[in-house]
Amino acid sequence: MVLLDLLCFFLFMILPYSTIAQTSRNISSGSSPNICSSITEDMGGGVCGFNSLCRLGDEGRPICECPHGYTFIDRNDVRKGCKQTFVPQNCDQASPEHHFDLKDMQNTNFPYQDYEHFKNVSEDWCRQNCLDDCFCAVAIVNPAGDCYKKGLPFSNGLNETNSKALIKFGKDNSTWSGGGAITKKKDNSTLILVGSVLLSGVLNVILPLITYLVVSRVYSRKAKVIQPRPVMSGMNLKDFTYEELKQATNEFKEELGRGASATVFKGVLASDTGRCVAVKRLDAKVRENDLEFKAEVSAIGRTNHRNLVQLLGFCNEGEHRILVYEFMSNGSLASFLFGESMPNWYQRRQIALGIARGLLYLHEECSSQIVHCDIKPQNILLDDYFTARISDFGLAKLLRLDQTRSMTAIRGTRGYVAPEWFRSVPITVKVDVYSYGILLLEIIFRRKHFEEVAGNEDEMILADWAYDCYMQKKLHQLFENDEEINDINEMEKYVTIAIWCIQEDPSLRPTMKKVTLMIEGTVEVSAPPPLS
């Protein structure tokens, strides 16, 4: 059968379709082999090339097609694959999901090369997850609740029962031109000509009226000069007025949370179809420092990652310093983790991985390296799909790309603060790694880092208790009340990663990139050194 498949693939590459079908019948007395499914590549484009779909036509001959939103690279040689006819989603800029949609393709699959796999999720959840992910080009769902996400280029497209492909495409009418620019297919020259004639006639009537109204309004305000509000360049952020945000929050009535330097209120933007937002009003002490506010807006405005809370706009008017974020419907990780919801182990693993990816982006992938300095459950928010989103990183210390260490005053929350904060030594990104290690233990065991335990002081500090159980090979004691845990080896892996993160010596702690790879299973998790 292997030789038969190879022979069919060779014939497909050098002979016309009719010849392939005829030769297939001569090779086998039975039905022709399904070239689309039998010739797939772990690394490669498959029978019809990248971003294409192979299906069987008459007499078992392969036919290459392009999915919705794609066209052949070369119609004279369809085996070269397909290309997008729309501008792809941009990870470096805000790409609203309403610019993109997913096209259903029943009984379709693109085997291999998925970069993310979710189990026991709904099709709607998978659909929204792919729309929110700028890397996702196609998602595969099946009745078993699997969701496979694939980036560009995807390959080995074929017909397969019980699988549905969700193809992402741009919803506007823009297409790629030969030079890569965006062009509109409709010729508007006639409309422009007619519009010019009409506009010249209308202006002769309306322009004097407009002039009169403007002059009257100016005099009615006693010639008051209105200074335009400054807009920070280089960022796709809305510059709100204070009155807009006052109305949106119903005069700042519904408080969502309060921190050391700001209070957050829930708001509804009438100008954005009733979109809910979180409005963060900085207190007087921070408001006095205009440079710090601008640093926060500059830092957050240039970040864009699915595991960070997105900044939508700001207000820098008079004494008012306000930030407007997207609203996270499921609140903070603290409420979810320590409340009555009892998140399952799968949810906790995804949250831990999402936080790690968000910190990796802040430390290594955004334009200016950012140290968060206050990683804790209260600063991790959850969106509609319980995706972890890091918040409150705007006031963190910024490091230049050529700078590796920064001295600053102690920040953070007791219990999550790295030991080097108390030693007057240079602070690096490793302080976030330490805080993440404490947070990871909380996620694993669904308990706070410090809890009073009646009659047993050894269990009060979670990090100490977990480390003692780890060293004594008694990790099962930590899961006595968790009926869901049945794989002690997997739990030991996560505890080991946490112990690596909370090493007292910062140089021994892994980077967030290595932490992410260990959680994903790409890098082996070795035994950590003893805690000092």
Q: For residue 511, is pLDDT > 70?
A: yes
**Cis peptide before 153, with omega less than 30 degrees from 0?**
yes
Q: For residue 198, is pLDDT > 60?
A: no
User: Domain boundary residue among 297, 326, 355?
Assistant: 326
Q: What Å distances lie between residue 320 and 96, 239, 246, 260, 327, CA to CA?
A: 28, 12, 11, 17, 21
The Cα–Cα gap between 92 and 365 comes to 11
The Cα–Cα gap between 34 and 23 comes to 14
pLDDT in tens, 377-396: 999 999 999 999 999 875 55
Residue 21 and residue 58 in contact, taking contact as beta carbons nearer than 8 Å: yes
| 116-125, 322-331, 438-447: the lowest-pLDDT one | 116-125
Residues 407 and 490 in one domain: yes
Residues 399 and 494 in one domain: yes
The Cα–Cα gap between 90 and 95 comes to 6
What is the reported pLDDT for 481? 64
For 335, the token pair is 């409420």
At 321, the pLDDT band (50, 70, 90 cuts) reads confident
Residue 255 lies in a domain: yes
Residue 189 lies in a domain: no
| 49-63, 115-129, 276-290: the lowest-pLDDT one | 276-290
Backbone angles phi, psi at 42, to 5 degrees: -60, -35
Residue 318 lies in a domain: yes
Residue 212 lies in a domain: no
Residues 375 and 454 in one domain: yes
The Cα–Cα gap between 12 and 79 comes to 10
Residue 54 and residue 46 in contact, taking contact as beta carbons nearer than 8 Å: yes
Residues 108 and 166 in one domain: yes
What is the reported pLDDT for 364? 93
Residues 279 and 339 in one domain: no
Catalytic residue ranges: 374
Backbone angles phi, psi at 441, to 5 degrees: -60, -40
What is the reported pLDDT for 34? 72
User: Domain boundary residue among 326, 357, 376?
Assistant: 326
C-alpha distance across the termini of the chain, in Å: 61
CATH code at position 280: 3.30.200.20
Q: Which helix (H) or strand (E) holds 84?
A: strand 82-84
The Cα–Cα gap between 103 and 494 comes to 38
Cβ-Cβ contacts under 8 Å for 32 (sequence gap 6 or more): 21, 24, 25, 59, 60
Q: What amino acid is encoded at 296 in this protein?
A: E
What is the reported pLDDT for 288? 52
Q: In the chain, what percentage of residues exceed pLDDT 90? A: 35
Percentage helix, strand, coil, to 5, in the chain?
A: 40, 20, 45
| 193-207, 333-347, 499-513: the lowest-pLDDT one | 193-207
The Cα–Cα gap between 446 and 343 comes to 8
The 3-state DSSP class for residue 140 equals strand
Q: For residue 183, is pLDDT > 50?
A: no
Q: What Å distances lie between residue 26 and 4, 19, 115, 380, CA to CA?
A: 12, 11, 41, 64
Residue 191 lies in a domain: no
Residues 486 and 384 in one domain: yes
List, as one string, the DSSP characters of 268-295: EEGGGTTEEEEEEEE-HHHHT-HHHHHH
What is the reported pLDDT for 118? 87
Residue numbers of the domain that contains 405: 333-520
Listed residue (512, 232, 514, 531) closest to 372, CA to CA: 512
Residues 382 and 454 in one domain: yes
Residues 312 and 440 in one domain: no
Cβ-Cβ contacts under 8 Å for 359 (sequence gap 6 or more): 372, 375, 390, 432, 433, 436, 512
Our count of domains for the chain comes to 3
Highest mean pLDDT: which of 76-85, 226-235, 283-292? 76-85
- Average pLDDT (291-312) is 82
Task: Write the secondary structure of 356-405 as one string of H (helix), E (strand) and C (coil).
Answer: HHHHHHHHHHCCCEECCCCCCHHHEEECCCCCEEECCCCCCCEECCCCCC
Q: What amino acid is encoded at 304 in this protein?
A: N
Residues 178-194 as b/e (b if ≥16 CB within 10 A, e otherwise) read eeeeeeeeeeeeeeeee
Q: Give the residue carrying structure tokens 């260990």.
A: 518
User: Could you tell me the pTM of the whole model?
Assistant: 0.56
Q: For residue 505, is pLDDT > 90?
A: yes
Listed residue (27, 26, 29, 24) closest to 59, CA to CA: 24
Other residues' Cβ atoms within 10 Å of the Cβ of residue 17: 16
What is the reported pLDDT for 187? 45
What is the reported pLDDT for 228? 38
What is the reported pLDDT for 203? 52
Cβ-Cβ contacts under 8 Å for 243 (sequence gap 6 or more): none
Residues 337 and 371 in one domain: yes
What is the reported pLDDT for 17? 40
The Cα–Cα gap between 216 and 219 comes to 5
Other residues' Cβ atoms within 10 Å of the Cβ of residue 81: 22
Cβ-Cβ contacts under 8 Å for 448 (sequence gap 6 or more): 338, 442, 462
Residue 108 and residue 53 in contact, taking contact as beta carbons nearer than 8 Å: yes
Q: For residue 458, is pLDDT > 80?
A: no
CATH code at position 127: 3.50.4.10
Q: For residue 115, is pLDDT > 60?
A: yes
Residues 259 and 389 in one domain: no
At 284, the pLDDT band (50, 70, 90 cuts) reads low
User: Domain boundary residue among 302, 326, 350?
Assistant: 326
List, as one string, the DSSP characters of 465-525: HHHHHHHTT-GGGGGTT-TT---HHHHHHHHHHHHHHT-SSGGGSPPHHHHHHHHHTSS--
Q: Is 401 exposed, middle or buried (0-12, 13-18, 19+ CB in 10 A)?
A: exposed
Residues 344 and 488 in one domain: yes
pLDDT in tens, 141-178: 999 999 999 988 888 888 888 899 999 998 764 443 33
Measured in residues, the chain has a length of 532
Residue 184 lies in a domain: no
**Which has the higher per-residue pLDDT, 18 or 173?**
173
What is the reported pLDDT for 496? 96
Residue 185 lies in a domain: no
What is the reported pLDDT for 216? 47
Residues 288 and 406 in one domain: no
**Which has the higher per-residue pLDDT, 498 or 402?**
498
**Which has the higher per-residue pLDDT, 11 or 180?**
11
- Average pLDDT (111-124) is 86
Cβ-Cβ contacts under 8 Å for 233 (sequence gap 6 or more): none
| 10-14, 50-54, 137-141, 438-442: the lowest-pLDDT one | 10-14
Residue 220 lies in a domain: no
